[in-house]
Structure 1
Amino acid sequence: MKCIYNDGLKVEYKGSILIKDDKDINIFIKEGLIPLGIKGELDVALINFNCLEMRTAAKVVTDTIGKRACIH
């Protein structure tokens, strides 16, 4: 699932998660390394095919991991 928002935020989740914006957010977490609590949020958004929920899940990721991370 790929969501692109008006403020430049881009979230792509298909097992692995990629979150980017035009300023300072750049996160990649490989499938299998996403913490379970975060994965649950992402999976709910994916199942519901809901970009608003995906944005909320992306905020959980940035609040938990930080704005820059590459975990693989």
Structure 2
Amino acid sequence: MSITQQYLLDTYRARQLGEPAPPAPGTHDRRVVREWHDRRRFRAVLAGRPAHGRVRRALRRWWSPRPRVLG
């Protein structure tokens, strides 16, 4: 069953029981992602790590050319 079908079924049941309809799928996605991001930054600060730029710094290390060892 897809998420849309489950939502329609839940809406139908809520209407039959006289309850408020559930929120549509994806309604709170932005808020959830923002809270997750804020929590990660907060935990990084508590752990003494940089709160921003970690991904970019890791990618820079990964993509930078390594010095050749001549021998």
Structure 2 length normalisation: TM-score? 0.25
Greater helix proportion: 2
Max Rg structure: 2
